[in-house]
Amino acid sequence: MREFAAVTTFSQKGYKQYGKKFLGTFLEHWDIDIWVYYEGTKPKGATRTKRVHWVDLDKDKDREAFLATDQAKESYNKTDYRFQAARFSHKVFALTDPKRLGKVKADWWIWLDADIVTYERVDKEFLRTVCPEGFDGSYL
């Protein structure tokens, strides 16, 4: 049987703006675990449950090295997201974290932007229909 898990990221500010509501509706409607990669300090009042796994994104040495080299390169164009690799890199580093992937058994890792609000039940049977065997990715 295929196993599923979710991944997201946000900062302390993002938790206050949208992350807290995101996690509340996730826990209410999803029946899988989620790994939350946070930037800076762990959000105050952060949800505490066995289904939410908090990871300090700032402890990722590969991300730190990447930001040290690319941060200056993107500063020349702050209006075009295509030239803001460092700004959006946290998503990639969270989704591909080798420490998590090496110890957590999941066939599908589902990326969820932290501003999503879930209104209906999302169970494993539904996830099997949108994450079919034989594919490396799905997009909703």
Distances (CA, A) of 110 to 2, 5, 96, 139: 13, 6, 11, 10
Tens digit of pLDDT at every position of the chain (140 positions): 568 999 999 988 999 999 999 999 999 999 999 999 998 888 887 778 899 999 999 999 998 888 888 666 666 667 888 778 888 888 999 998 988 888 888 889 999 999 999 999 999 999 999 988 887 777 66
- 3-class secondary structure per residue, 109-136: EEECCCCCCCCCCECHHHHHHHCCCCCC
Q: Name 102's bridge partners.
A: none
C-alpha 66/C-alpha 69 separation (Å) is: 5
Structure tokens at 20: 């807290």
- Total-model pTM: 0.88
